[in-house]
Amino acid sequence: MVYLLTQRLQTGCLILLALGLFAGCAKQQSNVERGNANQELYIGIGAEPSGLDPHLTTGMTEFSVMLAFLEGLTTVNAETMEIQAGVAKSWDISEDGLTYTFYFDPEARWSNGDTVTAEDFLFSIERILTPALGAPYAYMLYPMRGAEAFNKGETDDFSTVGASAPDSSKLVIELGAPTPYFLSLLTHNTWWPVHPPTILKHGCMTDRISKWTRPGNYVGNGPFNLKQWRLNNSIIAEKNPLYRDPEGVTLNAIHFLPIEIDGEERAFRADQLHITSTVPIHRLDWYRDNHPKNLRLDTSLGVYYYMLNTTRPPLDDLRVRKALAYSINRDELTEHVLKAGQKPAYHFTPPNAGGYNARARLPYDPELARQLLAEAGYPDGKGFPTFELLFNTSEAHHTIAVTIQQMWKKELGIDISLYNQEWKVYLSTREAGNFDILRAAWFGDYDDAYTFLSLAETDNGNNHSGWGNADYDALLEQAAVTADPEARKELFQQAETILIEEMPVIPLYFYVTSTLIDESVQGWHPSILDTHPYQGIKLGE
């Protein structure tokens, strides 16, 4: 959420170009050996990040890198995932649950030595909400009073937004309605601060293209600094001596390496990576049998799905969308293709998201699928136009796409073509809506059903399906301001029923994260949100 590992044989010696390693015929020290000796973590991230601006990025790849450089008001415990102090050393919550007062840690510093202030957060909140920035994740701030109206241009008066700074060490946030998961929201990158003087030094507040994220310019407040960024090679983070809790950070450096999945696995076997971003499907059984201690399979709050462009014929026909969805054998996909413990998804929201479990179900019914396709004018697939299934470059995504392609051919008699793009190009294509069917995935930003169901709201910055439904939007808006947990869940049930009935997305499976981890890594704990604070990680022998 690619990738480059090139292998060539020259005079009997293996050259791992993507890692910048020239392993001669004589044995040289591996990254893992060197990293363990120097407390430097080498981690595969799968894809080249699209950027490092916390207010513009949307992917897990970008989040995992920025987590080293920036920190919000709250953070999470690396082992328990419980909310704990970040920039805010403490906070008060009003009895009605609408007002949060945050008291800043006096040790919180930017990497250039400036004190982190409440005014920095006000600047950052105004920046992400300003319509001109076009932040796709701005809706994450909508629980704050007046945030949605300001972001949608209904007012240009930022003082109407419920954020204020009585003094430089105190920030007050006022909500429009009680939000039980609000402290969890603050750990998301959309709520992270940026350094105002740095932003303005390299352009305007709302410039989407800026030099401020380059090495030498990047000013953060996290446990690490951006030392180097070589495109398609590596991002190097070094320990930040000005971090508010430097003694709590063991690692001296992190090397983020954008290597394609099969390349990651080869690099791991060669002791050039401590951690991979995932595990190739065809290697899972081998690690189960030969190196089970290195294989980690953790339940995650995430869903893998296909997004349909409902503005393009024949996908604008509900019967066609249902035919595509009903003809997929998800049990076969998870059990015989994926094989890592993933669960078939017959609804969109993962089980037990904030205690919510969807009642709505889509069937596996090829006969009904064929009937619907015939009703739409394509009996046995005759006359059905060829369309493309787009996915970001990955062997796993390709394997899944081929499996679905074969199911649609077998059950519906239709042909689709497969098309892959590198991560950055894929994101641009997706945002432009220039696709027929698109591979997508979503990991919860917090443990609540809203983080999944809100994706399909008409004006959500991550909804590129062209689908919108006023009743669906109204249910989600009501859920956002409903305090009673059971009443909220019932609103979610109604919304999910509409989503499954309208089928702008086709859920395929619920995630299990597969990772290869060297036995020297300590502190990389299971996380349903796939969040791993680097402060909690150290390397042993």
What is the reported pLDDT for 471?
Answer: 98
* Span of 14-18, 120-124, 525-529 with lowest mean pLDDT: 14-18
Q: How confident is the model at residue 541 (pLDDT cuts 50, 70, 90)?
A: low
Domain 7-67+222-276+517-539 and domain 74-201 have a common topology: no
1 pLDDT above the threshold of 90:
no
User: Alpha-carbon dihedral of residues 494, 497, 502, 508, nearest 10 degrees?
Assistant: 130
Could you tell me if 403 and 453 are in contact, meaning their C-beta atoms sit under 8 angstroms apart? no
> Average pLDDT over the chain, rounded to whole?
93
Cβ within 8 Å of residue 98, ≥6 positions away? 145, 174, 175, 176, 177, 178
The CATH topology of domain 7-67+222-276+517-539 is D-Maltodextrin-Binding Protein; domain 2 (3.40.190)
Q: pLDDT tens, 193-238?
A: 999 999 999 999 999 999 999 999 999 999 999 999 999 999 999 9
Select from 264, 257, 528 the least CA-distant residue to 394.
264
Q: What is the domain partition of the chain in residue ranges?
A: 7-67+222-276+517-539, 74-201, 297-513
User: If we measure between CA atoms, which residue out of 38, 2, 33 comes closest to residue 18?
Assistant: 2
More confident residue, 4 or 260: 260
> Percentage of the chain with pLDDT > 70?
95
Residue-level pLDDT at 67: 97
Strand partners, 171: 102
Per-residue pLDDT tens digits for 66-115 = 999 999 999 998 888 899 999 999 999 999 999 999 999 999 999 999 99
Cβ atoms within 10 Å of 458's Cβ, excluding its own: 13
pLDDT of 81: 83
Reply yes or no on domain 74-201 having CATH 3.40.50.12780: no
For 325-355, write each residue's pLDDT tens digit: 999 999 999 999 999 999 999 999 999 998 9
pLDDT, tens only, 359-400:
999 999 999 999 999 999 999 999 999 999 999 998 899 999
Q: Which residue has the higher pLDDT, 78 or 121?
A: 121
Does the pLDDT value for residue 14 go beyond 70?
A: no
pLDDT of residue 481: 84
Query: For residues 356 and 386, is the Cβ–Cβ distance under 8 A?
Result: no
DSSP code string of 151-200: HTTS---GGGSSEEEEETTEEEEEBSS--TTHHHHTTSGGG----HHHHH
Annotate 188-227 with b (16+ C-beta within 10 A) or e (fewer).
Answer: bbbbbbbbbebbeeeeebbeeebebbeeeebbbbbbbbbb
Residue 27: pLDDT over 70: no
Kindly report the CATH number that applies to the domain delimited by 297-513: 3.10.105.10
Give the closest residue to 274 by CA, choosing from 4, 535, 37, 22: 37
Predicted local confidence at residue 20, as pLDDT: 44
